[in-house]
Structure 1
C-alpha cells in the first residue's frame, strides 16, 4: 500500500488510526469492568420455616449413629426455639423438610456441628397455631456494603458479605428483599457511590429497574486485628435515598475462619432491626419517588390471616386422624402376623450419600432411590448442589438387599457402616 504524498493526508490517516486504537482499548476496558468473579445469585426464597445456628455435640457407637443422633437433637432444639408443643419424634420428623449443614466435624464416635432445620410451613402451621404467613412490606432493594482496609465494596467483586445475604432465606420475614446478583452491568450501576446520591430521578430509575419501592443499605465495617487473627465487625443499617440511620451493633469473630458464621448472625440481626423499623413506621417508601407502600389493608389482612389459620387447623386435624388410622392399621397387621405365626419384615434406617453436581442429578438420584423396590421412605437430609447430598432412607429388608437393588438400577454402591455411598 502506498501512502498519500500529501502531509495533511498522512496526518488524517494517523488520527483515524489513533481513534480506532482508542475505541478498541475503551471496549476492552468496559469488558474488563464487568468480567470476573463478581456475581452471586441469591437463593430462591422459600416460605418454609428456617431455624439456623443450632449447635449439637453428641456421641454414639459409630459416626453414622452420632450424625443421626445429632440431627434428631437439632430438630428438637429448633422446634423448642419455635415454641412448638410437645410431640413425638416421629411426628417431628414428619414436619422437617431439610437439614442444612452449616458446619460439622465428625469423629469415630462423636459428632459436633452447627445445623439449620427447615420445617414445612403447611404441616407445622397446625401445631404452631398460626398459618405462618406475615403481612410483608413493599419490595425493598438491598445494597450490602463492605468497608475494610479503607475501601468500600458492594458488587464490584464477590465478597463474604454479599454471599451471606445471597444465601439468607427471608421467607418468614416481613421485609420483601430485592437482592441483586451483581452480575454484568449491575456491578457498574450499584456501587457505594450510589448510596450517597440524593437525586430522586436517579433513584426512581434504579428502583424501577429492579421492581422495588425503597432501599436498605446494611453496612459491614470489618477490621482484621492481625493476619489470621480476630475480625471485629461494626454493622450499620441505613435506609432510603437520604441515607437515614436506623441503628448499629458490633460482633467479633475469633479468626477469619469464623467470619462467615459472624456475617450470618449479622444478617439475622439486620433483619430483626428492619422488621422492627417497619413495625414502628420508620421504614416507609419515600413519596417523592412516586411509590405507594404496597401493603394490604389491616382489616383485610386480618380476615385472610384468620381464614388461613382455620384452614391450617383443619388440615392438621385431618393429618392427625390419618396418622391414627395408619397406626391402627399397622397394629392390626402386626397382630395378624403374630397370630399367623409369621415373621414381621425387618425395617432399617440408613443414610445414602450421592454426588449432585447440578439440580438435574439431584432430582434423578432422589427419584431413583424413592423408586427402588423396598424403599418405604426417602427424605432429604441435606441438599448440596455442587457437592454431596444426603438422603435419610427407610427400607424394608436388609442392607445387603438394598445394595443389590441399587446396583441393579445402575449405581456403584459402597458401604460405610450404616450408610451407603452411591455413584454412576
Structure 2
C-alpha cells in the first residue's frame, strides 16, 4: 500500500478562500434572494393630485349617436353630452329649481371648459361613449344663481386607507384608492383637503397605523408638516368574489385624531373594469358625508391640537402688582428759555397695511381674531376683507410698525403665528 507523505502541511491562500466563499454566497444568495430589495421610500410611488379649481364637473354621461362620419358622430356625441350634463348640473346645483333653461349650442359650448373621455367606442358612423363635462364656474354660476364665496372648512389632511387581500396600505404603493382621491376635483367641495402626493417620506409618516395613534404631540408634528389643522380618514375595504368577478366595497368616513365615525355605505363593481368608476363614485359620496358633517359642526378642528401656550393671568397680575404703579409724565413740548429750536420732534413709525389670515371655525373665532388684532398697540384699523366660517378669514390691518412686531404682539396674546410675505396667519 502506497503512502503519500507531505514534506510540509498544505497551505491555502486567503484570497482563494475568500473568492471561493464569495462565489458560494453569490450562488446561494442569487437563488434565494432573487431581485434586489428596495427601501420603503424608494421605488415608483406617489400620485400627484390634479390642480383643483372651482369649476363644476359632471361625470358619467352616456351617449350613443350616429353621424355621416366618425368625426361627425363624435362631434354630435359631445354636443349631446353637454346638453345632458347641463340638465344634470341644474338639478344638483341650481338654487331656482325646476327644469334647466334651454340654451343654444353656442352659449352652452362657451360655458364648457373641458370634455373628459372616460370611455369611448368609435365606428365609421357611430359614437358610443361615457363622458365627463367640466363647466366654467365664472360663466355658469350666474345661470345657477350662485354668487359670492362658499364657506369652506379648515385645512384637513387626508389619509386614504385601503384594505384589500388582508393588507392595509396608504402610500406604500400606488393604489386605485389613492388615485381616486388624487383625481378628485376638490374645487367644488366645501372641504379644504390637503392631499399629499405619497412620494418620498409620505409613505413613512402616513401609514395605516397612524389611525390608532392618540399622541397629540405626534399629530401636531404631522399636521404642521403638511400645513393642516385636522385630519380625515376615508377608508375603503374591497373584497372579491372570484378573480375578475364582482368587487364589493365598504367605505367609511372618519375624522380627527380620535378616529371618530362619520358615516358608512356599500358599493359593488361588476368587474375590474368598473372598479375605477366605483371608487370615483365612492369619493363623491364620502365628500358629501364630510360636507354634511361640516354643516352640522362635526368637523371643527380638535382643540387639543392647539399648540398655543396657555397664559396664567393670575401670575401676570401678581407680577404687575409687585412692580407697583408706574408714574408717567407727558414730555414738555415748550423749549426752555434761551435754548434754540433745532428741529421738529421725530415722527413715529409710518403706518403700513398687512394681511392677517385667521382660522375661523365659527363666528366666535372671527370675533376673537378681530378683537386680538385691534387690541395690539399701534393698530390703527382692522377690517374683514373675506369671511369664511369653518375655514380661513382674511383681515386687512393698518399698523404703525413692522410685521415682526405685530407678530410678536399676537404671540404674546397666545396666538400661534406664521409669518409670510407681508402677511400673517394666526390660529388658536
TM-score (norm 1): 0.62
Structure index of larger Rg:
2
Q: Distance in 1 between matches of 2:130 and 2:147?
A: 28
Q: Are 1:113 and 2:179 an aligned pair?
A: no
1:59 and 2:66 correspond: yes
What is aligned with 2:258? 242
How far is 1:86 from its partner? 2.2
Secondary structure at the counterpart of residue 82 of structure 1: helix
Cα displacement string for residues 357-408 of structure 1 (whole angstroms, at most 9, x for unaligned residues): xxxxxxxxxxxxxxxxxxxxxxxxxxxxxxxxxxxxxxxxxxxxxxxxxxxx
Aligned pairs for 1:11-410 within 5 A: 32-83=39-90, 84-131=100-147, 133-290=149-306, 294-295=360-361, 297=363
For 1:314-365, what per-residue CA distance to the aligned partner results, in whole angstroms no more than 9, with x for missing partners?
A: xxxxxxxxxxxxxxxxxxxxxxxxxxxxxxxxxxxxxxxxxxxxxxxxxxxx
Contact 1:50 1:119 in 2 (8 A): yes
- Deviation at 1:254? 0.7
SS state at 1:34 partner = coil
- TM-aligned CA distance change 1:150 to 1:242, over 3 Å: same
Q: Cα offset for 1:158?
A: 0.5
Q: For residue 108 of structure 1, report the CA deviation from its aligned partner.
A: 2.0
Aligned mates of 1:93, 1:176 — CA distance in 2:
30
Unaligned runs of at least 5 residues, structure 1: 1-28, 306-424
8 Å contact 2:158–2:232 — kept in the other structure? Answer: yes
Residue deviations 1:229-277, cap 9 Å, x none? 1111111111100001111111111111110011000001111111001
**For the Cα contact (< 8 Å) 1:134–1:172, is it kept in 2?**
no
Q: Is the 8 A contact 2:47 2:179 kept in 1?
A: yes
Instruction: Give the C-alpha shift of residue 131 in structure 1.
Output: 2.7
Given that 1:218 and 1:235 are in contact with CA atoms closer than 8 Å, whether structure 2 keeps it comes out as yes
Runs (5+) with no aligned partner, structure 2: 1-35, 91-99, 308-357, 368-382, 389-428
Question: Could you say if the C-alpha distance between residues 50 and 296 of structure 1 is closer, same or farther in structure 2, counting changes exceeding 3 Å?
Answer: farther
Q: After the TM superposition, which segments of 4 or more aligned residues of structure 1 sit over 6 Å from their partners?
A: 298-305
1:133 offset after TM fit, Å?
Answer: 3.3
CA RMSD across the alignment: 2.4
What is the count of residue pairs matched by the alignment? 277
Separation in 2 of the partners of 1:31 and 1:230?
A: 33
Q: Which moved more, 1:262-271 or 1:31-40?
A: 31-40
Cα contact 2:49–2:183 (8 A) shared by 1? yes
